[in-house]
């Protein structure tokens, strides 16, 4: 049910009051909420799978693996590691400052807003929430209106498991999100596209609200011609087929040496046939496109390409299905290079050298991920040092998301802010610095008070005269 706009400020105020009451402070209380989140995912998994089947045609295995499983694993691990994360830190300081007891307290940011998209609606709603719960924040969850069955389900199941005084779901579209964005929050965690991110950032600026923007973009794949082309095709295809290519880290386009292009196309053909022997159109293992609009967008991109469609996937507009489609000889300026594809279309851009591939990547906004297939360590290091992207992944696609200890982030157009486990906890935590000056320190502090003797000035300004070592350049 869509949340009444008039109730939204009251929801925020209630969450703020809960935060101030201290309910979310005790670590065991936070751990209990994290276990409840895991319980919710485990107990309600059939309803979740059904909802995502209805909204996205998402295969059950994909939902259990990447959404339900991810939430259970993340919530349990967060609960287990939380006591360690939340420990007050005592930094190493010079001897003369030790008696001041310098400390870094881990303070929850407060009442936060989490806005999530439709493509992985479960994990992208609850992954940030895990960090917010662990940090001791209260939170509003705003799931996407493009997955209405799932968002409605959250309305029903979240209150059964999580404390409603601390965590609330607000459902709706632009009017409801706009109302949320008018209010002051202590952090906004937005996952979605760059256009809406700009609306969110402008609204946040009015209140100086800190932000995480988890966005997308075109993640390229660079293939070294000496690499096993067959294996590269298989691993790229797997990453591209998840959720029918509707994932922020999907391989978006491929840069390959011109003379290896046809070998790559043949390898794609072989693996598409192996993954979907009867075609992907009716396969329960291949998802649908989220909306008619997106289906039309994808078929329009294809109809306008100047590249050669070498593997033409079948399209069924009525059921919003589109099979994997490979296009070769795609060049700068092509429709398939205009925007994030976010669907099962893979353009191949032939290049003559690694330098040309690097220049191609660097001429565009920084991607969320740069993928590269190579056994050559020099080439890998060249890509690390000569390009920029949120993450860089060698010799596989998509699988990096299972390494919870790695921070997940974008850079430039692909966003900013870090997430996954402790990184999400840190996002919702303020490092609150403290000293506690003992009375006995007065003797050492005496020289700071005016009027200053000459000796005091020399001591207080000593840093100004510190010798600077010669540079070794």
| Cβ atoms 75, 37 nearer than 8 A | yes
**124 interacts with ligand NAD by CB under 6 A:** yes
Contact region with ligand NAD (CB under 6 A), list: 139-147, 227-235, 318-326, 456-464: 139-147
Given the residues 67, 214, 340, 413, the one annotated as active site = 214
Residue ranges in 271-310 that form contacts with ligand NAD under rule CB under 6 A: none
Question: Among residues 99 and 193, whose Cβ is nearest to ligand NAD?
Answer: 193
- Cα dihedral angle (109, 112, 118, 122), rounded to 10 degrees? 70
- Of 248, 323, 340, 413, which is the active-site residue? 248
User: d(Cα 232, Cα 396) in Å, to the nearest integer?
Assistant: 8
Among residues 177, 261, 305, 429, which is the contact residue for ligand NAD, using CB under 6 A? 177
455 in active site: no
Q: Which of 416, 394, 382, 18 is nearest to 204 (CA)?
A: 416
Q: Does 93 bind ligand NAD (CB under 6 A)?
A: no
CA nearest neighbour of 421 among 163, 65, 85:
85
Stretch that binds ligand NAD, among 28-36, 128-136, 155-163, 191-199 (CB under 6 A): 191-199
339 is catalytic: no
Q: How far apart (Å, rounded) are the C-alpha atoms in residues 328 and 307?
A: 6
State yes or no: residue 214 binds ligand NAD (CB under 6 A).
yes
d(CA 361, CA 222): 9
Per DSSP (E only), the strands in 215-364 are 219-223, 251-257, 308-311, 315-316, 321-322, 325-328, 345-351
As measured in angstroms, the least distance from the Cβ of 303 to ligand NAD is: 22
Does position 192 interact with ligand NAD (CB under 6 A)? The reply is yes
Q: How far apart are CA 221 and CA 199, in angstroms?
A: 30
In angstroms, give the least distance from the CB of 286 to ligand NAD.
19
Please report how close the Cβ of residue 368 comes to ligand NAD at its closest, in angstroms: 6
Per the rule left: phi > 0, alpha: psi between -120 and 50, beta: everything else, 132 is alpha
> Interface mask (CB under 6 A) for ligand NAD, residues 335-364, using x and -?
-----x-x----------------------
Question: Among 38, 115, 130, 322, which residue interacts with ligand NAD (rule: CB under 6 A)?
Answer: 115
Is 173 a binding residue for ligand NAD by CB under 6 A? The answer is: yes
How many helices, marked H, and strands, marked E, lie in the chain?
Answer: 17, 17
Which residues in the 237-276 window bind ligand NAD by CB under 6 A?
Answer: 248
Q: Between 23 and 199, whose beta carbon lies closer to ligand NAD?
A: 199
3-class DSSP assignment, residue 421 = coil
Q: Which of 93, 174, 226, 441 binds ligand NAD (CB under 6 A)?
A: 174
Residue 427: enclosing H or E segment and its boundaries?
helix 422-427
- Distance of closest approach, residue 221 Cβ to ligand NAD, in angstroms: 16
C-alpha closest to that of 309 among 276, 340, 256, 345? 345
| Residues contributing to the site for ligand NAD (CB under 6 A) | 115-120, 124, 142, 144-146, 173-174, 177-178, 191-193, 196, 199, 214-216, 248, 340, 342, 368, 410, 415
């Amino acid at each position: 049910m869509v949340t009444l706009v008039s109730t939204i400020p009251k929801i925020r105020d209630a969450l703020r009051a809960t935060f101030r009451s201290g309910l979310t402070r005790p670590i065991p209380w936070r751990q209990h909420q994290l276990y409840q989140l895991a319980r919710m995912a485990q107990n309600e998994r059939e309803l979740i799978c059904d909802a995502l089947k209805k909204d996205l045609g998402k295969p059950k295995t994909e939902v259990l693996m990447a959404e339900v499983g991810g939430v259970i694993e993340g919530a349990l691990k967060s609960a287990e590691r939380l006591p360690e994360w939340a420990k007050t830190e005592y930094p190493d300081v010079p001897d003369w400052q030790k008696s001041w007891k310098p400390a870094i307290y881990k303070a929850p940011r407060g009442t936060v807003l989490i806005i999530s998209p439709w493509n992985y609606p479960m994990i992208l709603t609850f992954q940030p929430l895990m960090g917010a719960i662990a940090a001791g924040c209260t939170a509003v969850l705003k799931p996407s209106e493009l997955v209405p069955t799932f968002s409605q389900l959250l309305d029903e199941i979240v209150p059964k498991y999580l404390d409603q005084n601390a965590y609330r779901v607000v459902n709706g579209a632009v009017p409801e999100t706009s109302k949320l964005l008018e209010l002051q929050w202590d952090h906004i965690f937005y996952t979605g596209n760059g256009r809406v991110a700009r609306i969110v950032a402008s609204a946040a600026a009015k209140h100086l609200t800190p932000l995480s923007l988890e966005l997308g973009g075109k993640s390229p794949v660079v293939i070294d011609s000496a690499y096993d082309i067959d294996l590269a095709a298989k691993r790229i295809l797997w990453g591209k087929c998840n959720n029918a290519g509707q994932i922020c880290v999907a391989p978006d386009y491929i840069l390959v040496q011109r003379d290896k292009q046809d070998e790559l196309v043949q390898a794609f053909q072989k693996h598409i046939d192996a993954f979907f022997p009867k075609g992907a159109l009716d396969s329960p293992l291949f998802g649908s496109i989220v909306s008619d609009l997106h289906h039309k967008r994808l078929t329009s991109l294809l109809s306008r390409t100047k590249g050669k469609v070498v593997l033409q996937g079948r399209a069924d507009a009525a059921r919003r299905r589109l099979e994997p489609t490979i296009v070769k000889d795609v060049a700068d300026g092509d429709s398939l290079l205009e925007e994030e594809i976010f669907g099962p279309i893979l353009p191949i851009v032939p290049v003559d050298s690694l330098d040309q591939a690097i220049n191609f990547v660097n001429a565009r906004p920084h991607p969320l991920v740069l993928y590269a297939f190579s056994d050559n360590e020099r080439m890998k290091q060249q890509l690390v040092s000569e390009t920029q992207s949120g993450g860089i992944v060698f010799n596989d696609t998509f699988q990096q998301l299972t390494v919870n200890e790695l921070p997940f982030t974008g850079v430039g157009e692909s966003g900013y802010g870090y997430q996954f486990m402790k990184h999400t906890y840190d996002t919702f935590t303020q490092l609150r610095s403290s000293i506690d000056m003992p009375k006995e320190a007065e003797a050492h502090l005496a020289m700071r008070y005016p009027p200053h003797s000459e000796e005091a000035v020399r001591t207080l300004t000593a840093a100004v005269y510190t010798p600077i070592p010669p540079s070794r350049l």
